Amino acid sequence: MKQAVLKNGKVFSYDVPVPAVSKGRVVVKVVNSCISTGTETASLNAGRQSIVKQAIKHPEKIRKALDILKKEGFSKLYKRINTDELPGKALGYSAAGIVYVVGDGVGRLKVGDRVAVAGAGYANHAEYVEVPENLVVKISDNVDFKSASMITIASIALQGVRRLKPEFGEIIVVYGAGLIGQIAVQLLVNSGALVVVVDVIKDRVELAIKNGAYKGVVIPDEDPVKVVEFLSERHGADAVLFCASTNQSEALSQAFNTLRRKGRLVMVGVWGDKVLRDDMYKKEIDFLISCSYGPGRYDGLYEEDGVDYPYAYVRWTENRNMQAINKALASGRLDFSSLFAQSFPIEAVVDAYRALSNSIRPISVILDYGSKIVESFDLSTENSYVVSNNYLGKDNKLISVGVIGAGAYASNVHLPNLKACSDKYRIRAISTRTGLKGKELAEKYNVAYVTTDYKKILDDKDIDLVFICTRHNLHSQIVLEALNRGKNVFVEKPLGTNIEDLNKIKAFFSDTTTEKKPMLTVGFNRRFSPLIRRIKDETVQSSTPLLIDYTMNVPYIGEDSWVQKEEGAGRIIGEACHIFDLFSYLVESPVVGYSVGSLSSSSGNILSSDNKVIQIEYSDGSVGVLKYFTVGSKDLPKERLSVHFDEKTIEMEDYKSISYYGFNLKSEKGLDQDKGQKDQLKAVYRSLKGDGILPISLQSIFETSEISIKCS
């Protein structure tokens, strides 16, 4: 399918896989989408900025780079800067079309529904989009798709008007007569306000007057402060809805100066970087911000998980705002027909964006995808993936890999490492949730194909090894599907998030009806670290049990993160499991008991689930203690290991230094951090192409996985 993508400041039309449908979401066949000329022009301009300018504008990126430098060293930072290409950005956030596929858990939508869809990253300029249920509203039969494609944008204007709380007869200035400003004019006229519209483009001011504005001001031909002063008998406007997109702070100052004492200004647009105190203080102005389409925006529980706000307490959510716009269009109280400036087919999307570069931008640009649904189209057919012409083909000396899930860890660690081990592995296919990311990975790694349907990888006879890197709650399900198809499996930790799922995988390996079983290993990479191997060389000769103390000083992650929800199952299952496997590797003895202590706080500023001391006892008398917490100083190392035995001690910090006490060995510091990911790949290769020895025994994998679940 075609999709508009912003990359390195330029717009491209990509052929990308059609998205698969997830739980709580629908796939929509887009008929029209609307390019918001103000918002999206700002995105284009930001994409063209130099790295230095972007860094100055986003200091958090500098802080992130310094953090990488401190914790991982210069070489890792240099590698990321020089090898990480800026990913393409999906454009668009306001569209309309027909529901094509309905995911599990969706209750109020069905196939064939005419809908408007919202959300950057969801309602893209693409032929097919996957959108969470709370970002979808049905549209009335008499509302055309072009008008419906503006419903999301109109909801931005509506939320601004709601924040403004207009009263009948008030003088209200709409500062900025772009698309959002034009819709706001109609909404305010419907409320009974006397609307003054201000803009630098005469045609836009005239259009607003045609749509009900009482007075128009074209800057710099007229001074809006004087016009409003005359109109209000020298009192000033009651309120300003600031809809302009400008980097000139003077515009905001001028807007403030149009207001009466104790007036109010609601910010919907962009104004630069300065707010003058005197502009507000002397008149005691109320300055409010309007956040996008309304309550629910940027709330993952609402948008992604489908948790609605109670109607009685939050009357106007973003979804209910969209419904209100649809009803106003259906009743004729709103009319967007005068706002359809230019239209382009999706195949000409580059030309559509080029129109935004004109000296006078069109008020809107509508993309047309056609309303006909191809009856034979099936998301499970070959149309759901893109074939690369650069794939080198099958080589029996190499392990052919299919990667399922390409989130941050897979993209930053596994895929680069697989590429670096090109003498051992060849990436044949990648499955991603979004087609755009799959397209870019296909080009970067020269794979045969990418798909949004992971079952294609499981059914591909040319794939020897499946890497499973999805969110945690899907691991065990896909592991079993892969094993039952005879695929060797490397699954990122954890293996499973509950005992029931672990038992199903155990049962697969306990079944004696088939002699040869596929290989299963889990991404417990710490045991493969060179420093851990050096520690193992010393502890294996121990005459006393081991006392192992491990500290994980980790940053706080809020409960709204996927890591803390069902998808992630928490950080003990998702991260601390590494350390339980490390204990198992060093001790080489079965677990006989464990205990857990958790920090608790009545203030709610910490999560007990992320602040634990876990003690594990082994049959040989060894003890492993993990202190996992978020309350420590960030100036301390993230990970610190101490192993005590035979009146000796070995300490390791962040996989960059090792210190020996009681040994005739030299301590080392300032090493390149190596947590063993690449060496684990080498062990997997030896297992499949050489000695057949499992990289990690199944007994150890299951024991670590069970302990992680029980201690979480």
Q: Where are the domains of the chain?
A: 2-150+307-368, 153-289, 382-522, 526-711
For position 88, what pLDDT does the model report?
84
What are the angstrom distances between the C-alpha of 712 and each of 568, 628, 673?
A: 12, 11, 28
8 Å CB contact between 39 and 361:
no
For position 16, what pLDDT does the model report?
87
- For residue 63, count CB atoms less than 10 angstroms from its CB and return exposed for 0-12, middle for 13-18, buried for 19 or more: exposed
Strand partners, 97: 30, 115
Residues of the chain falling short of pLDDT 50? 47, 49-51, 83-84, 374-377, 382
* Amino acid sitting at position 271: W
Sequence-ordered list of residues with C-beta below 8 angstroms from that of 403, at least 6 positions apart, any chain: 410, 414, 415, 418, 427, 429, 430, 431, 457, 466, 467, 469
For position 64, what pLDDT does the model report?
60
For position 41, what pLDDT does the model report?
65
Quick: pLDDT tens for 168-186. Answer: 999 999 999 999 999 999 9
Q: Pick from 139, 93, 123: which is nearest to 326 by CA?
A: 139
Fold of 526-711: Dihydrodipicolinate Reductase; domain 2 (3.30.360)
In CATH, the number for domain 382-522 is 3.40.50.720
Say if 153-289 and 382-522 have the same CATH topology.
yes
For position 224, what pLDDT does the model report?
95
Name residue, tokens 């007869």: 169
8 Å CB contact between 428 and 400:
yes
Structure token digits, residue 228: 């409003």
Cα(85)–Cα(440) distance, rounded to whole angstroms? 10
H/E stretch holding 676 = none
Structure token digits, residue 496: 């499973």
Q: Pick from 33, 325, 348: which is nearest to 156 by CA?
A: 325
Name residue, tokens 């072009």: 146
Task: Read off φ and ψ for residue 367, nearest 5 degrees.
Answer: -100, 140
- What length is written for the chain? 712
- For residue 290, count CB atoms less than 10 angstroms from its CB and return exposed for 0-12, middle for 13-18, buried for 19 or more: buried
Own/partner long-range contacts of 256-263 (Cβ < 8 Å, ≥24 apart) = 256/280, 256/283, 256/285, 257/225, 258/173, 258/175, 258/196, 258/224, 258/225, 258/228, 258/229, 259/283, 259/285, 260/232, 260/235, 260/236, 261/235, 261/236, 262/286, 263/236, 263/237, 263/238, 263/239
* Amino acid sitting at position 10: K
Structure token digits, residue 58: 């986003």
For position 443, what pLDDT does the model report?
84
For position 361, what pLDDT does the model report?
80
Cα(264)–Cα(271) distance, rounded to whole angstroms? 16
For position 396, what pLDDT does the model report?
85
**Pairing status of strand 648-653 against strand 657-661:** antiparallel
Fold of 2-150+307-368: Quinone Oxidoreductase; Chain A, domain 1 (3.90.180)
Cβ density class 629-641: b for 16+ within 10 Å, e for less = bbebeeeebbbbb
CATH homologous superfamily, domain 153-289? NAD(P)-binding Rossmann-like Domain (3.40.50.720)
CA 161 to chain centre: 30
Q: Three-state SS for 254?
A: helix
What are the angstrom distances between the C-alpha of 347 and each of 4, 124, 145, 497?
A: 9, 15, 18, 44
